[in-house]
Chains A and B, each alone.
Chain A
Amino acid sequence: MHSSLFLILRRMRAPLIFLIVSYAVSILGMTLIPGVDANGRPAPPLDFFHAFYFVSYTATTIGFGEIPTAFSDAQRAWTIFSIYLTVIVWLYSIGAIFGLLQDPALQRAMRGNRFEAKVKHLGQPFYLITGCGETGVLLLHALDSRNQQAVVLDIDPARIGELELGQYQLDIPALTADARYPENLIAAGLHHPLCAGVIALTNDDQANLSVAVTTKLLRPDLPILCRADSLDTAANMASFGVEDIVNAFEVFGEHLAIAINNPGHRLLYQWLAGVPGERLAMPMEPPRGKWIVCGYGRFGKAVTRHLDKEGIELVVVDERPAAGHEHAVIGLGTEAHTLLEAGIEQAAGIVAGTHDDINNLSIAMTARQLKPELFMVLRQNRHANAALFERFDANATMQPSSIVAHEFLSLLTTPLLSRFFSLALHQGDAWADVTLSRIAAVVGDTVPEVWDLELSKTHTLAIWQTLTDGATVRLGDLMRNPSNRQDTLACIPLLLKRGREEVLVPDNDTPLHDGDRILFCGEAHTRRQQAPGLHDYNMLDYLLTGNEAPGGLVWRRLAQLAKS
């Protein structure tokens, strides 16, 4: 129940009792002490009614004077006593109650109550996000721009404060709480029927792990997305069935390897998995040849593993001699002689991947002096150093937070998209280039919107009705413009999933079935234009046949009569 209310009541006990007792003593005294009449003769004391009246205006320092008649000296003496008693107690009580309202514990309890109430009354599906650092903020903005509700927990009050000040369209409930405690996750709506999934994004692997365990035990049906910074944690999470684990270093290593071998695929990924509305990225074309990897930590290991897999020649530079790689040079990489020893003259690219931003920049600057045309990949650890990295302008800057956010976003909003990418990897570079040019033709210079369309009675009523009538709906019909069916909407079907069958970039003539799932890409307004044809039977009829069909039952009957 309302724990803050109990807290207030409990702490108000003492001030209230002081107040009651001081009033009682003062009133009682006034009803016992004899007064004096106009002629100086003794008169009966004040009755309870007048005594209460007198004490009320005296205690609150209003002070009307001696009412109803002038007091006797004995009464005045008692008045002095009651003034000091009641006024002091009154001020103390008011002060105590105001102080109570300012109490941090109470404020925290009240915030917790408000948060719980807000979460309880959420009317649309929401994601529970734990950890609202750089990754969390990026993800929140992207979810918010897609009108997707979220609930946020973070251990740092400053981050929650920033979130409350941030510009979001939706009201995002946020609470300063430790996500490692199950009760905080429950307060954030883990048991809420509309909770669509849990996203563990904290920068502490152990915390992410405990969020995953809690969710798996309490709500085994919910999808969990976890960030894991070490391979051990990722393996641990996978062992109890966490579906989606994102390790920023692994993802980047993989992308770098893809970028070296298949630049088209890399660009395809950047275009489709970006945040809609951002500018389209320029193609990054890292050269083939010998690469130098500085720093053999988590990031360095991930990069070398993926580059090794692609058969790229590598030299590892690390301070520790036990680098564990066959071509290893000992040193930090910030000095020219280490880089020369690693063979920078013959190298095509360098990866500055230590856990220290300044060292990374220093490596890159040394390398640039030695060989200006070298392809440079920098690891940026701290968002605060963004200005330095921007100024340096490396060919690729690896920011764990943005990589994790992009991965999560595509997993959340368009699960088909990750299928698309893994299928696309099996296609050649030529295929990727054709697809890229097709996408470039329909979108402007910003990241397009990618949406998942499920053909079912609930999602696309009109198509379901038409299909049950026995008519055929082709994929191309969904891409006709509702204002003029001869026009084609500016969007591209990327993937058609029918049961286990998956078709990459399906043909426009493909007949559709109930239960099909289609991944489209196009601009946001195209998606809105497409919607009427999916839900409105008459509109779909127009798209299919070109008939401006009459709407109501009577008109339809009349039209049939006119035909016969």
Chain B
Amino acid sequence: MNLEKVIFGFFIILAMTLNFGFVIGDLDNPVHHDSYELFFAIVVNLIATVLKFGERTQIGAIHLASSFVADLQLFAAAGVWATAVYLTDTGLTPGVTASIVSLAAGALAANVLSVIMLLVETVMFRR
């Protein structure tokens, strides 16, 4: 067992599960989507991204790319949230909530891809 692989897998899967937890619920209902969950999703995603830095393989490059996509989507979701609540007086209307959640759902797709690649990699190099 390789401790590095454990930590790597842990963060990638945690990024996906947190992201999933945030997305699940009614699309436009702000009560179903907790800001802490989004916060942790962002933090864990960032850590996962940094862990993927410096991988020289082709699959490592795709890993990193999917992480960047997830980060970007989550940043966009947080940005929309901050804009709606603090920078303008719109508040968390169903429309705003829907766009936040759908952005986060996009990140979820990228995170799912990451986990799939993690599995593929593990199956490919059975050691």
Is A12 at the interface (CB under 8 A from chain B)? Answer: yes
- Chain B interface mostly helix, strand, loop or mixed? helix
Q: How far is the CB of A106 from chain B (nearest CB, A)?
A: 12
Task: Report, as a range, how many residues of chain A touch the other chain.
Answer: 20 to 34
| A20-B46 in contact given A13-B54, A49-B82 (Cβ < 8 Å) | yes
A16–B86 CB distance below 8 A: no
A28–B39 CB distance below 8 A: yes
A17–B50 CB distance below 8 A: yes
* A12 to B46 alpha-carbon distance, docked (Å): 13
Scoring B46, B50, B56 by chain A CB atoms within 10 A of each residue's CB, the highest score goes to B50
* A11 to B54 alpha-carbon distance, docked (Å): 8
Chain A residues with CB under 8 Å of B43's CB are 20-21, 23-24
**Residues of B34-73 whose CB lies within 8 A of A:** 35-36, 39-40, 43, 46-47, 50-51, 53-54, 56
| A6-B56 in contact given A20-B43, A24-B43, A48-B35 (Cβ < 8 Å) | yes
Chain A residues with CB under 8 Å of B40's CB are 24
| A17-B47 in contact given A27-B39, A28-B39, A48-B35 (Cβ < 8 Å) | yes
Chain A residues with CB under 8 Å of B116's CB are none
* A13 to B50 alpha-carbon distance, docked (Å): 6
* A1 to B54 alpha-carbon distance, docked (Å): 12
* A27 to B41 alpha-carbon distance, docked (Å): 14
Is A386 at the interface (CB under 8 A from chain B)? Answer: no
| Complex partner residue of B86 from A6, A23, A49, CB under 8 angstroms | A49
* A306 to B87 alpha-carbon distance, docked (Å): 94
Is B85 at the interface (CB under 8 A from chain A)? Answer: yes
Q: How far is the CB of A49 from chain B (nearest CB, A)?
A: 5
Is A10 at the interface (CB under 8 A from chain B)? Answer: yes
Q: How far is the CB of B8 from chain A (nearest CB, A)?
A: 11
| A13-B53 in contact given A21-B47, A27-B39 (Cβ < 8 Å) | yes
Is A423 at the interface (CB under 8 A from chain B)? Answer: no
Scoring B35, B39, B51, B85 by chain A CB atoms within 10 A of each residue's CB, the highest score goes to B39
**Residues of A1-29 whose CB lies within 8 A of B:** 1, 6-13, 16-17, 20-21, 23-24, 27-28
Chain B residues with CB under 8 Å of A8's CB are 54
* A50 to B35 alpha-carbon distance, docked (Å): 13
Give me the interface of A with B, judged by CB distance under 8 Å: 1, 6-13, 16-17, 20-21, 23-24, 27-28, 31, 47-50
What would 12 A/B residue contacts be, using CB atoms closer than 8 Å?
A: A6-B54, A7-B54, A8-B54, A9-B54, A12-B50, A12-B53, A13-B51, A17-B51, A24-B43, A27-B39, A47-B85, A48-B35
Give me the interface of B with A, judged by CB distance under 8 Å: 35-36, 39-40, 43, 46-47, 50-51, 53-54, 56, 78, 82, 85-86
